[in-house]
């Protein structure tokens, strides 16, 4: 029985928006019905500070089993030795890792936000740049690929305690082995934040960070297609580098340090309804069908990148290995900004985000680029042919930004195509 009409009418409007449009935001996806059922369950009523079997509250015998299932499934999915499924988000997971392994004022080395990194990898407006001393590496201007030489030189000169790899808008795979080599040389830990490609990594479609990086964090709602949330994992025991306040080569002590950094370090009670939904999503990701979805996500991104290139748009780094691409609009039209592109496509119910490009000259509120990602449309059932139509419609909109009747036609085409691919089929 629903009484709160104000909210539920709005939720219905959002359902219509999600149903009738193309969702191309690279960090979004459509969670399954059973993931949402777990999220909306009575588990939200339960307090369970602590870990399975070691809680500060009574009545945890059921949530203990749920959380343990989530942990076990996650470990099986990634081949991890240890996992914590409590972080409320990717940012919370990164905050816990940094609290656990760093002292305030320690140096960290992360991928520059303006080149495709993330706020929590040292941005001056974020806790990571305020509590720690951030240094950055980026991409090479001529290739758009990670500048590993600069990463290595900066690691040697600044001697960070933590090197962070992973990105929000980088379309290529990472050389984790190379980053680990320089980390060992300078005595740093390596954190891989795989929030974006984790669903693809889980199925072996991209390089495995757990083999080389000391700690791995992720969100659970992007390519992994679960509820909105975060996780932390460790792949194996490791020889701990000097200078870090953790015991040498002791996974058990290291995991206790990270568990403590999540709770009580940075969070209170875990969200057991979300943890149950994470368990459901990990179960879905363990299935063979999830690998087909992952492969199709990449194929769709590569088709879309090629189609956009053929229409005169420049893709940073020349293409994609994963689920996303960053497009520099200046190659198509020097006056077309990311802001105008986002607004124009929004009028056609094609949802994307404006994005800075490396060595950006415009403000982050305007930008010269857009980011496109294929996880959500792939979940919906779009394949190569549909991606060609998507590219056509995007290009048609971006070459007719002032022509409202053409934009209306495109909106109708988007709606008709969307109708053939219901959500949660
Ligand atoms: N803001 C998210 C994204 O869109 O990539 C990352 O946190």
Query: pLDDT tens, 297-340?
Result: 999 999 999 999 999 999 999 999 999 999 999 999 999 999 99
Q: What is the per-residue pLDDT for 237? A: 62
Separation of alpha carbons 100 and 420, rounded Å: 48
User: Of 13, 28, 52, which Cα lies nearest the Cα of 279?
Assistant: 52
Average pLDDT rounded to a whole number, residues 23-35: 98
Nearest-atom number in ligand 1 for the CA of 90 is: 7
pTM for the complete prediction? 0.96
> Ligand 1: distance of its center to the CA of 238 in Å?
30
Pocket of ligand 1 (CB under 6 A): 27, 90, 118, 168
Choose, from 120, 219, 337, 378, the residue flagged as catalytic: 219
* 222: annotated active-site residue: yes
> Ligand 1: distance of its center to the CA of 90 in Å?
9
> Ligand 1: distance of its center to the CA of 59 in Å?
36
22 by DSSP, 3-state: which?
A: strand
* 248: annotated active-site residue: no
Q: State how far the alpha carbon of 335 is from the alpha carbons of 85, 212, 332, 339, 348, in Å.
A: 45, 43, 9, 11, 20
* Mean pLDDT taken over the chain: 95
Residue 252 clears pLDDT 90, i.e. is over it: no
Choose, from 19, 28, 46, 49, the residue flagged as catalytic: 49
> Ligand 1: distance of its center to the CA of 26 in Å?
8
DSSP for 172-208 reads S---HHHHHHHHHHHT-EEEEE-TTTHHHHHTTSS--
* 259: annotated active-site residue: no
Residue 58 clears pLDDT 70, i.e. is over it: yes
Alpha-helix residue ranges (DSSP H) falling in 84-147? 90-101, 127-131
Average pLDDT rounded to a whole number, residues 30-34: 97
Residue 159 clears pLDDT 70, i.e. is over it: yes
Residue closest via CA to ligand 1's atom 4 equals: 27
Residue closest via CA to ligand 1's atom 2 equals: 27
Q: State how far the alpha carbon of 7 is from the alpha carbons of 2, 3, 14, 243, 383, in Å.
A: 10, 9, 11, 52, 34
Question: Partners of 369 in the beta sheet?
Answer: 328, 355
- The edge-to-edge listing of strands for the beta sheet with 314-315 is 314-315, 324-328, 369-373, 353-355
Substitution site in 198, 199, 222 for ligand 1 pocket (most atoms within 8 Å of beta carbon):
222
Residue 135 clears pLDDT 80, i.e. is over it: yes
Q: Which two structure tokens, joined as six digits, stand for 144? A: 């758009």
Residue 248 clears pLDDT 80, i.e. is over it: no
Choose, from 19, 47, 75, 347, the residue flagged as catalytic: 47
Residue closest via CA to ligand 1's atom 5 equals: 168
Q: What is the per-residue pLDDT for 254? A: 85
How would residue 244 be classed by pLDDT, with cut points 50, 70 and 90?
Answer: very low
Per 3-state DSSP, the chain is made up of helix, strand and coil in percentages (nearest 5) of: 50, 15, 40
Q: What is the per-residue pLDDT for 245? A: 43
* 47: annotated active-site residue: yes
Average pLDDT rounded to a whole number, residues 175-187: 95
Residue 87 clears pLDDT 50, i.e. is over it: yes
Substitution site in 94, 195, 230, 354 for ligand 1 pocket (most atoms within 8 Å of beta carbon):
195
How would residue 249 be classed by pLDDT, with cut points 50, 70 and 90?
Answer: low
For the chain, domains (ranges, CATH) are 34-285 (3.40.640.10), 288-419 (3.90.1150.10)
Instruction: Name the one residue in this structure whose structure tokens are 């497009």.
Output: 327
Average pLDDT rounded to a whole number, residues 163-172: 98
How would residue 262 be classed by pLDDT, with cut points 50, 70 and 90?
Answer: very high
How would residue 247 be classed by pLDDT, with cut points 50, 70 and 90?
Answer: very low
């Amino acid at each position: 029985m629903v009484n709160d009409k104000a909210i539920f009418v709005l939720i219905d409007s959002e359902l219509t928006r999600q149903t009738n449009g193309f969702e191309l935001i690279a960090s979004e996806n459509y969670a399954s019905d059973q993931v949402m059922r777990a999220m909306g369950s009575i588990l939200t009523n339960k307090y369970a500070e602590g870990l399975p079997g070691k809680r500060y509250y009574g009545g945890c015998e059921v949530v203990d089993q749920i959380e343990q299932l989530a942990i076990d499934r996650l470990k099986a999915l990634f081949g991890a030795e240890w996992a914590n499924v409590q972080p409320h988000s990717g940012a919370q997971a990164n905050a816990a890792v940094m609290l656990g392994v760093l002292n305030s004022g320690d140096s960290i080395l992360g991928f520059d936000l303006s080149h495709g990194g993330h706020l929590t990898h040292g941005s001056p407006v974020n806790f990571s740049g305020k509590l720690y001393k951030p240094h950055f590496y980026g991409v090479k201007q001529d290739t758009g690929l990670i500048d590993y030489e600069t990463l290595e030189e900066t690691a040697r000169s600044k001697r960070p305690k933590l090197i962070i790899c992973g990105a929000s808008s980088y379309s290529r795979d990472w050389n984790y082995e190379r980053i680990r080599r320089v980390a060992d040389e300078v005595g740093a830990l390596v954190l891989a934040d795989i929030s974006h490609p984790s669903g693809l990594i889980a199925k072996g479609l991209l390089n495995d960070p757990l083999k080389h990086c000391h700690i791995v964090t992720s969100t659970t709602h992007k390519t992994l297609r679960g509820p909105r949330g975060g996780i932390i994992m460790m792949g194996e025991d490791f020889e701990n580098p000097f200078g870090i306040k953790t015991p040498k080569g002791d996974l058990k002590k290291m995991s206790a340090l990270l568990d403590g950094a999540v709770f009580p370090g940075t969070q209170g009670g875990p969200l057991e309804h979300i943890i149950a939904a994470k368990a459901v999503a990990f179960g879905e990701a363990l299935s063979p069908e999830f690998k087909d979805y992952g492969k199709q996500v990449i194929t769709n991104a590569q088709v879309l990148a090629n189609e956009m290139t053929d229409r005169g748009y420049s893709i940073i780094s020349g293409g994609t290995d994963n689920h996303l691409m960053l497009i520099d609009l200046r190659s198509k039209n020097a006056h077309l900004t990311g802001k105008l592109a986002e607004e124009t496509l929004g009028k056609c119910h094609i949802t994307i985000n404006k994005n800075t490009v490396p060595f950006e000259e415009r403000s982050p509120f305007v930008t010269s680029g857009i980011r496109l990602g294929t996880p959500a449309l792939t979940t919906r059932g779009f394949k190569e042919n549909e991606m060609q139509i998507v590219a056509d419609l995007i290009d048609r909109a971006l070459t007719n930004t002032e022509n409202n009747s053409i934009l209306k036609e495109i909106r109708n085409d988007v709606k008709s195509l969307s109708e053939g691919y219901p959500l949660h089929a």
